Amino acid sequence: MSYFERESADLVRIEGAELLESFYRLQEDPERGAVMACFAEIADAFAREQQEDEAFFRLLHAVLRALGGGLDLAWAARYYEIWTLRLHGVLPALDACSSCGTVLNERGARYERSEGGLLCRQCRSEGRPGDIALSPGALRAAAEILARSPTALIGRPADEAALEPLAALAQAIFFDLTERRFKSYQVLRSLRGRD
């Protein structure tokens, strides 16, 4: 893309653009299109104006390419959400209790929004509205997302029970950081009949 920018102006004039790769066909399915709208809304919230964020846009590109290559929609969404939080330094530690340091791998945990971290069974309180229970399966799925590329997950069936708490975790943190609910998630819930 080539553009012209004046120092004192807020807007730029685009001189020309050349499309290198298109993901247009991924949007033919309404549910996939809604997930991609979620990606766009997350990118809009986290991309910093006039600042390069190469790793963040590489993440988006890698997830879109994997989605085009057959990556399950649930894996793609959780991958993009978890890595967005990680790249921006706001993903809580998912392997140990934020209070006592106990390893959480087979015990599960609860994300306590007031604490901003995961707590083991011994350290967590009674639980408040908005706290999110993360099963051992959810913690294993998160560890897999953080350890692999999105293309390495192609062909892996999605375990909705394990991935759903990760969606709730990401959306809670997104809301706490931006103080807004992403409309694309509401559209996606409507498409899935989960109003």
* 127 has a pLDDT exceeding 80: no
In order of 30, 92, 117, 185, 190, the CA distances from 179 in angstroms are 27, 18, 18, 15, 22
pTM of the model: 0.88
What percent of the residues of the chain are helix, what percent strand, and what percent coil, each to the nearest 5? 50, 10, 40
Contact 74, 160 (CB under 8 A): yes
Domains belonging to the chain, first-starting first, are 30-191 (1.20.1440.120)
In this predicted structure, which of 41-50, 57-66, 146-155 has the lowest mean pLDDT? Answer: 41-50
> Each residue of 21-37: pLDDT tens digit?
778 788 788 999 999 99
State the pLDDT confidence band at 182, using cuts at 50, 70 and 90: very high
How many Å is the Cα radius of gyration of the chain? 18
Query: What was the pLDDT predicted at 20?
Result: 79
Least confident segment among 30-39, 94-103, 125-134, 136-145: 125-134
Question: Per-residue pLDDT for 187 more than 70?
Answer: yes
Q: Is 102 helix (H, G, I), strand (E, B) or coil?
A: coil
In terms of residues, how long is the chain? 195
Tell whether the model's pLDDT for residue 142 goes beyond 90.
yes
34 C-beta neighbours (distance < 10 Å), count: 21
Supply the pLDDT for residue 16: 87
Band the pLDDT of 144: cuts 50, 70, 90.
very high
For 98, the token pair is: 């934020």
Confidence at residue 129, expressed as pLDDT on a 0 to 100 scale: 83
Residue 195 is predicted with a pLDDT of 63
Percent of the chain clearing pLDDT 70 (strictly above) = 99
